[in-house]
Amino acid sequence: MNRNILRICLLLVLVSMLTLFLNSGRTVTARSLQIVEVVIEAEILPDGNMKVIESRTIDFTGQFSGIEQKIYYGDIAHYKEINVREGEEYYNLTDQFPTTDPWTYSLKGFGDEYFLIDWSFDALNEKRTFTIEYTAVDAVLVHKDVAEIYYQFIGSEWDVPTHDARVTLRLPEGAEEGSVRAWGFGPLHGDVNIDSPQQVTWTVSPLPSGEFLEGRVLFPTELVPDAVRFSDEEVLAGILQEQERLAMIANLERGARRYQPYYSLFLFLPAGYALFRIRKKAAARDEAYSGSYYRELPGKYPPEIAGYLWNKKSVKDEYFAATILDLARRRRIRIEEIPASSNGKGDKDDFRLILTDNSSNEEPLDSRVLNFLFITVYDYFNSKNEGDQRRSEPLEDKEITFSHIQQFAEKQPKEFYSFYNAYKADIDQAGQSYNFFNQVSATNWGCLPMIIMLAGSIVAVFWLQLYILGAALFLIPFILFFGSPSLKYTAYGADQLAKWSAFRRFLLDFSKMDPSEVPSLIIWEHYLVYAVILGVAKQVINQLPLTFPSMEKEPEFNRTSWSSFQSVQGVNMVNSMSRMTDSLNTTFSSAVRSARSTVAVSSRSSS
């Protein structure tokens, strides 16, 4: 398969995969729920029990008839006074588990680990707030030096995130400022705050699915005089030391996560550097010409070969215009303008090509182009019967117009397209003989960047940086197929390319230079041919009158092939030259598109 077609197909696949990846987390199913808010108000009682009121606001999409929640035992011996309500309306306790009737709830224990609260309701595309009340018996553990509550307020069983979670714990009165210490466990972005000696608050926004929220509070033992759970140990110093260690680890992890995206992206810098070095080596720039300008033609080869190097083996339609101009420069043909007023084509100028030299010592490229123009096209339009296309040797003074080339492509698309493909093949074959390039296989250069990026992907998975993983999955094949140096320049090729780049800069800036540094007018006839290949022909043509103000009166001008454009019914030569190059490029490109389209349609029809 053609490499460019493969690249386009891969790009489409990658874009589709990236789109799916980016939208994978946004899929909205027909039936879903979101936990908008969880508000828990807990109160420590003097007897060491803890009263909990937990309100959870859920936004339902679709039809729902019930929900269940785990309450973990942990260090709690048992729970009592368990109720479910909405607002002030309480649900009814039933022995059936799970429940099926709306406004009922039931309980079921699962060993010493947890018990389930299951309640039923009817909800359809609405937002409801459910409140669970219970008392955790003997929740407080009294040590010799401090009392402790260590409780998981929200479990990790929820498979959907909670947008906002807030837990408020109230302590009995009597504690002094600074005598209460509190910590939180769960997501690193959560906060714990001691509002006063009587109140501690934990907040997390959001609380991801599968994450829990725990709180640990130390306070004076006098606040729970009727508590019955004792440890008979002094634990304050040990707990403070443990929490200091955990806080240090959490802060380090919090800082690491804050800069994780930068760390993840940094992992790909070695891949980029490796790719840069490989491409630099492929370009062989170290041995290449490094000057700003180059005032001579870098190589003694036809313009099509310069284009072969400049465009990395690509053959473009502009090469044909350069071939025609080069034939005119070497006096093989003559180009004349046919003003719109005399060509019968309205406001569109035309140009004629006149064969002036029928010698047979031309290069294969010249021979193919001349035979096509002055045998194939000429005979087609000058035969008595268009179907009788004679094959004769070219004779001087034969002439065709640009419009003939366009019409021939439309009437004889297969023959035109056959010439075009043979013309490109000739350029490719000739270009290969100049040893500009060494072929590079993607497997030869791509191993190091690929290994580095795969390592970065593994780290991204470990850090749960899915967007970094997505970027890596996209960049690996992208670099392999789109960033690979599919061509490696030889030292000669890199030097020639650098000189053509410097020569192109000279063509763009020569009118600003000292006139003594600018070549004579006769040389610019040759330079213009290569300016077409380099895509700056119009800029060169526009600058010539600035550098040679009286160019049409200079003797050198009459020795150029441009003299045929002088004063065509008062038309300025520079404007005529500009129109000619534009018209030739446009004509040939249009002819190629027309023939290619017709041949493609014909091939599909025959198959």
Pick the residue with more confidence: 485 or 324?
A: 324
Which residues make Cβ contacts (< 8 Å) with residue 66, sequence separation at least 6? 98, 99, 100, 118, 119, 120, 121
Kindly state the tokens that stand for 492.
């000669």
pLDDT at position 568 is 46
Give the integer Cα–Cα distance in Å for 562 and 164. Answer: 79
- For residues 327-349, give the mean pLDDT: 76
pLDDT at position 10 is 55
pLDDT at position 318 is 87
Q: Which of 274, 277, 293 is nearest to 285 (CA)?
A: 277
Residue 328 confidence (pLDDT) above 80: yes
pLDDT at position 270 is 59
pLDDT in tens, 162-185: 999 999 999 999 999 999 999 999
What is the greatest pairwise CA distance in the chain?
123
pLDDT in tens, 382-393: 875 444 444 555
Q: Is the dihedral of CA 187, 190, 193, 199 positive or negative?
A: negative
Give the integer Cα–Cα distance in Å for 7 and 201. Answer: 56
- For residues 204-230, give the mean pLDDT: 93
Q: Which of 43-57, 123-137, 461-475 has the lowest mean pLDDT?
A: 461-475
Kindly state the tokens that stand for 305.
């070969």
Q: DSSP strand E in 10-137: where?
A: 32-44, 50-61, 63-72, 79-86, 89-90, 92-93, 104-110, 114-124, 127-136
pLDDT at position 547 is 80
Residue 545 one-letter amino acid: P
Residue 193: HSE in the Cβ half-sphere, 13 Å Cα cutoff: 9
Tell me the helices (H) and strands (E) count for the chain, helix number first.
18, 21
- For residues 535-558, give the mean pLDDT: 79
CB 107 within 8 A of CB 79: no
Q: Which of 130, 137, 155 is nearest to 80 (CA)?
A: 137
DSSP 280-321: HHHHTGGGS---S---S-S-SS-HHHHHHHHTTT---THHHH
Q: Taking each helix axis from N to C terminus, what angle separates 521-533 and 537-547, rounded to the nearest 10 degrees?
A: 160
pLDDT at position 581 is 86
Give the integer Cα–Cα distance in Å for 436 and 298. Answer: 13
Residue 504 one-letter amino acid: R
Give the integer Cα–Cα distance in Å for 560 and 408. Answer: 30
3-state secondary structure of 459: helix
| 161, burial (CB in 10 Å: exposed 0-12, middle 13-18, buried 19+) | middle
Q: Which helix (H) or strand (E) holds 421?
A: helix 413-432
* pTM, two decimal places: 0.53
Q: Is the dihedral of CA 289, 290, 295, 297 positive or negative?
A: positive
Q: Rounded to an integer, what is the distance from CA 273 to the centroid of its chain?
A: 19
DSSP state of 138: T
Pick the residue with more confidence: 35 or 550?
A: 35
CB 338 within 8 A of CB 401: yes
Residue 504 confidence (pLDDT) above 70: yes
CB 81 within 8 A of CB 52: no
What torsion, rounded to 10 degrees, do the Cα atoms 283, 289, 292, 298 define?
-100
pLDDT at position 386 is 46
pLDDT in tens, 255-279: 656 665 565 556 556 566 666 665 6
pLDDT at position 338 is 83
